[in-house]
Amino acid sequence: MKRMLCGLLVLLALLFLGGPAWAENFLKMRHVSEPFEVMGQRQSGSEEIVEIWLSGNRARMNSSDNSSVILDGDRQVMFMLDHAEQTYTEVPLNLGEAMSGMFGGQEGGQDMAAMMSQMMGAMMQVRAEVVDTGTTKTVNEWTCRVYELTLNMPMGKTVSEICASEEIDVDVSMYNKIGHAMLAGQQGFEELLREMEKIAGVAVLTVSRANIMGATMVTREELLEHRKMAAPAGSFDIPDGYMKQRFMGM
């Protein structure tokens, strides 16, 4: 009885005090895009607040009132939600596996899948390189180390200065996956995530300069807040009534 009582007290203490293994993480970021000109047309800048929830092998990013991304790490897929249209698109993290699943049941399907994966991979190839600059700085209350990330894609090149802090206790791998959701499904995405492992800690300030189709686009993403708190119920589920849209014909 005494041993059972001690065990119960320990369990209650864990429930009330909480613990990192059970805690969910909330991060709030400010994303700013500077004005730019492309093909003679002036594009205005923008600013929005981005919210990220991390919970074990799941993550969610709300980039505006009208769009969200849900990452299911167990299934290795991302869901792109359009709240205005009440639709969602399922995006596989591994394009080759998606192609195999699409064509595998047909005669000569595996050869077709390999060919399609190679063709699309050449069009969407992402090559990444991370360099540790060896410098440090303070961003808000966090002490950071500065890295340079270079992304080369068929459409252009992006160079980012990333200030990362090890003072923030989150799953960095999930944070990087959801933060680069727009590149999910592209060939080289997994290599990008492996390259990002060279960055120690969480990016609290990222300034990027992209040269695409002759246009130069500058963006700034800054971490405003990090808290340990439970995500709202249903955060990692597709809302009822949302219709599935096809992803690249799949």
Tens-place pLDDT, residues 74-87: 888 889 999 999 99
Q: Is 172 exposed, middle or buried (0-12, 13-18, 19+ CB in 10 A)?
A: buried
Q: Confirm whether pTM is higher than 0.75.
A: no
Q: Is 194 helix (H, G, I), strand (E, B) or coil?
A: helix
Domains in the chain and their CATH numbers? 20-37+46-245 (2.50.20)
Amino acid at 210: A
Q: Is 6 helix (H, G, I), strand (E, B) or coil?
A: helix
Ranges of the chain whose pLDDT falls below 50: 1-22, 99, 101-106, 108-109, 113, 116, 119-121, 123, 249-250
As a whole number of angstroms, the distance between CA 225 and CA 214 comes to: 35
| Residue-wise pLDDT tens digits, 1-11 | 444 434 333 33
**What sign does the dihedral 145-62-97-159 (CA atoms) show?**
negative
As a whole number of angstroms, the distance between CA 1 and CA 247 comes to: 59
Question: Per DSSP, what are the bridge partners of residue 51?
Answer: 28, 62
